[in-house]
Chains A and B, each alone.
Chain A
Amino acid sequence: MSFDPKITLFSCHYTSQQSCAEGGHELQQLGFPASISMVRVPCTGKVQVTSLLKAFEDGADGVYVVGCPVDGCHNVKGSVRAARRVGAVQKALAELDVESERIAMYHLPRGLQPQFIAAGVEMDQKIRDLGPSPFHKI
């Protein structure tokens, strides 16, 4: 089934700081999927479980968080906290009988690295494969 997914990305300021360069055009030129809306946060440790769930409530088919490497977070443990909250949402989705792969955590180096683009492409493909969110019934 082909559809245009809506994906919400919560990205750490340090990981995504170069993504705003040139008004974001560089991201598009590098093949970053148009299906992804990015929310930049000062630290992914700031992202609460409720923020992740609200993204689904607001219509996201998939959600992912990009934060600093586990052993290199600018705020020491912010990205580890984010990963645990993503884990909590994965568990909750499974309880609702929804694919837990609809949410993911990535720990990436700072700046606009190829991995940042690759993570977006991977997430876009994964959500296309899964199909529309089952929360869209009404």
Chain B
Amino acid sequence: MIVAERKPMAEIIEMVKDCKKVLVLACRGCVTVCSAGGEREAAILASLVRLGLKKEGREVEVIEGSLVRQCDREYIDSIDQWQGQYDAILSTACGVGVNFIANLRQKDMVYPALNTTFFGGSTEQGVWMEQCAGCGDCVLHLTGGLCPVARCAKSLMNGPCGGSVEGRCEINRDVECIWQSIHDRLGAFGRSAQMEVIAPIRDWSTAGHGGPRKTVRKDLTV
């Protein structure tokens, strides 16, 4: 899922300080699962916005709403149900949701309440870890299913680097050396020899270095 976290309140208050009516818009997709921007977090944020603006001596009406997802056109259209009830939308979706609202709602000002951080999963309750960098050229079949692009601090394709100690990364002992884990995992499947295959110099254009990426499935277009 896409993992995100709330922006500092000072930054959010600065965005909406001149608004009289704000719609805090939750997303029931990834950000609900990572407890950053679902209905519960939107309710907390709405309360904090009211309190923050009250403290500044400003009167504001804050309402809450939510969409199934903010990354699909048909759901964005349903923002019409709150028409006239807001000067600006404070979206608790990831950056995709904010962009979709900006793309499709020419007359609506939209602000991001979250910092979108990474693609990851929950490793224990209340903890999320990055697992995938969305680089567009997956090598997981060569690395035992563990991603060196997202999980090696240097994104090495031919690791380990030599700086790891006892399976921990040299940048921080709290971080596992993913290349050590790749080695151990390949070994468990009798595929250690895979480690000796040199990965060629990589074309990073699929990783966003070639401009915004786009997927077209002609079999699905109408």
Q: Is the CB of A96 within 8 A of B59?
A: no
* Interface: B212 (CB within 8 A): no
We find that the number of chain B residues with CB closer than 8 angstroms to chain A is 18
Q: How far is the CA of A92 from the CA of B45 in the complex (A)?
A: 10
Interface mask (A96-138 → B, CB under 8 Å = 1, otherwise 0): 1110000000000000000000000000000000000011111
Q: How far is the CA of A33 from the CA of B9 in the complex (A)?
A: 33
Q: Nearest A residue to B58 by beta-carbon distance?
A: A138
Q: Nearest A residue to B8 by beta-carbon distance?
A: A95
Q: How far is the CA of A137 from the CA of B59 in the complex (A)?
A: 10
Main secondary structure of the interface of B (DSSP, over half): helix
A-chain residues with CB within 8 Å of residue B59 when the two chains form the complex? 138
Q: Is the CB of A53 within 8 A of B57?
A: no
A-chain residues with CB within 8 Å of residue B9 when the two chains form the complex? 92, 95-96
B-chain residues with CB within 8 Å of residue A50 when the two chains form the complex? 40, 43-44, 47
* Interface: B222 (CB within 8 A): no
Among B9, B43, B47, chain A packs the most CB atoms within 10 A around the CB of B47
Residues of chain A having any CB pair with chain B under 8 Å: 48-50, 53-54, 56-57, 92, 95-98, 134-138
29 A-B pairs within 8 Å (CB atoms) are namely A49-B44, A50-B40, A50-B44, A50-B47, A53-B47, A53-B48, A54-B47, A56-B51, A57-B47, A92-B44, A92-B48, A95-B9, A95-B10, A96-B9, A96-B13, A96-B48, A96-B51, A96-B52, A97-B55, A134-B55, A135-B51, A135-B54, A135-B55, A136-B54, A137-B54, A137-B55, A137-B57, A138-B58, A138-B59
